[in-house]
Amino acid sequence: QQPVQSPQAVILREGEDAVINCSSSKALYSVHWYRQKHGEAPVFLMILLKGGEQKGHEKISASFNEKKQQSSLYLTASQLSYSGTYFCGTEIPDSWGKFQFGAGTQVVVTP
């Protein structure tokens, strides 16, 4: 039931772009994105609601395709500070408040 994230890991050079995907086998009510630095707690990035809404945080944006039950996170012109593990969290209509997280995508941005 956990959403599936891909890729598992990505290595970027500063300034490069990357896409992280999150897909679910169930219809989604919302998708959340979080970033976790090593040894720290996950930190909220953004929420997307059904309707294909696209949001942004710094040069990080995301889209949500309700019909395909998937969301994508776009890291544009990556910075060293973007390094960390990115998690998508999903909420399904019949389990209000029960967020389920993907296994995470480790992002390493190098100089």
Binding site for another protein (CB under 8 A): 1-2, 5, 29-30, 32, 34, 40-44, 47, 49, 87, 89, 91, 96-104
Q: How far is the CB of 67 from another protein (least distance, A)?
A: 19
Query: CB-wise, 68 or 98, nearer to another protein?
Result: 98
Is residue 72 within 8 Å of 82, Cβ to Cβ?
A: no
Q: CB of residue 1 vs another protein: minimum separation in angstroms?
A: 7
Q: Are 35 and 109 in contact (CB under 8 A)?
A: no
Q: How far is the CB of 82 from another protein (least distance, A)?
A: 19
CB of 53 to another protein, least distance (A): 12
**Nearest to residue 64, comparing CAs of 27, 101, 35, 96?**
27
Q: In what order do the strands lie in the sheet with 55-57?
A: 4-6, 18-23, 70-75, 60-65, 55-57
In 3D, which of 67, 72, 73 has the Cα closest to residue 51?
Answer: 67
Nearer to another protein, 16 or 55 (CB): 55
Cβ proximity to another protein: between 12 and 48 the closer is 48
Cβ atoms of residues 29 and 93 within 8 Å: yes
Considering the complex, state which of residue 9 and residue 15 has its C-beta at the smaller distance from another protein. Answer: 9
